[in-house]
């Protein structure tokens, strides 16, 4: 079963941003990937105007797990290595630890690949958090998302692939998560700059207005949906 660890962070200051990114990409990510169960990680930075949460940076860690119990074991080992100084912590002047948030998600459905997919690693990602409007509508929510919404979005220019995940209660830093929504759709995109992403997203807006994209009353409205540009390669376990 695929799982992802969604980590949201900030540098301690604007002046520390270069040092923060150097530490995170070149030291921290390899240390995390040394924990058995982690497969790969990719780092992103919010596009201007698309930073929905307080945190500017996103790291998506990919995991291969047997079940939730296995995922908890991986998280526990991760935290043990931090506590025992087996991971190289950032200086306090580099990362803002107070605003760090980290939550594990597990796959809800298989990854959808669109007709335009060519890139192995997307240039950007669109993170759509949502929930069914009523718990009794959850089955209809999943059906609409999988059979209608994802195929329609992936037919648009720029969108490459997408996969949906469900939140777990495995909260690494024990801080309130950024949203109470239960489900997350991660859309992979080919835009590497803000103008390209905005031009592509405009197709969603016009499609909803025209009715070519069929929305549903089973999904909550005004859902948080940040978008991020990739700032690292997909780093794999060594």
Per-run averaged pLDDT (10 residues), the chain, 238 residues: 98 96 96 97 98 98 98 97 93 91 98 78 96 98 98 94 97 96 97 96 96 96 96 90
Query: How far is it, in rounded angstroms, from Cα 181 to Cα 128?
Result: 10
Three-state SS string over 151-190 comes to HHHHCCCCEEEEEEEEEEEEECCCCCCCCCCCEEEEEEEC
Sign of CA dihedral 75, 76, 81, 82: positive
Is-contact 215 207, C-beta < 8 A? no
Which residue, among 33, 169, 166, 23, has the nearest Cα to 97 in the 3D structure? 23
Name 3's bridge partners: 63, 106
The model carries a pTM of: 0.96
- At 115 the pLDDT is 80
Token pair 């998600």 is found at: 105
- At 117 the pLDDT is 66
3-class DSSP assignment, residue 51: coil
**Domains, in order of start, for the chain:** 2-236 (3.30.70.100)
- At 120 the pLDDT is 73
Q: Please enumerate in sequence order all residues whose Cβ is within 8 A of that of 142, keeping only pairs 6 or more positions apart, or say none.
A: 108, 109
């Amino acid at each position: 079963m695929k799982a992802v660890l969604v980590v949201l962070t900030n540098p301690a200051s604007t002046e520390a941003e270069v040092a923060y990114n150097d530490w995170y990409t070149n030291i921290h990510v390899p240390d995390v990937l040394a924990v058995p169960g982690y497969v790969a990680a990719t780092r992103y930075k919010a596009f201007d105007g698309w930073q929905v949460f307080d945190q500017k940076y996103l790291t998506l860690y990919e995991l291969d797990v047997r079940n939730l119990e296995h995922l908890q074991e991986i998280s526990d080992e991760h935290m043990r290595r931090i506590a025992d100084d087996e991971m190289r912590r950032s200086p306090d002047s580099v990362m803002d630890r107070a605003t760090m948030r980290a939550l594990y998600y597990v796959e809800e459905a298989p990854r959808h690949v669109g007709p335009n997919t060519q890139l192995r690693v997307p240039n950007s990602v669109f993170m759509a958090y949502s929930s069914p409007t009523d718990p009794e509508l959850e089955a209809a929510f999943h059906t609409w998302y999988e059979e209608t919404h994802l195929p329609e979005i992936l037919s648009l220019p720029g969108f490459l692939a997408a996969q949906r995940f469900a939140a777990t209660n495995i909260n690494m830093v024990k801080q309130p998560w950024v949203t109470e929504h239960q489900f997350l759709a991660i859309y992979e995109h080919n835009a590497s700059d803000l103008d390209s992403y905005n031009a592509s997203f405009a197709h969603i807006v016009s499609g909803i207005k025209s009715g070519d994209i069929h929305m549903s009353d089973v999904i909550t409205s005004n859902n948080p949906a940040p978008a991020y540009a990739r700032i690292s390669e997909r780093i794999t376990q060594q």
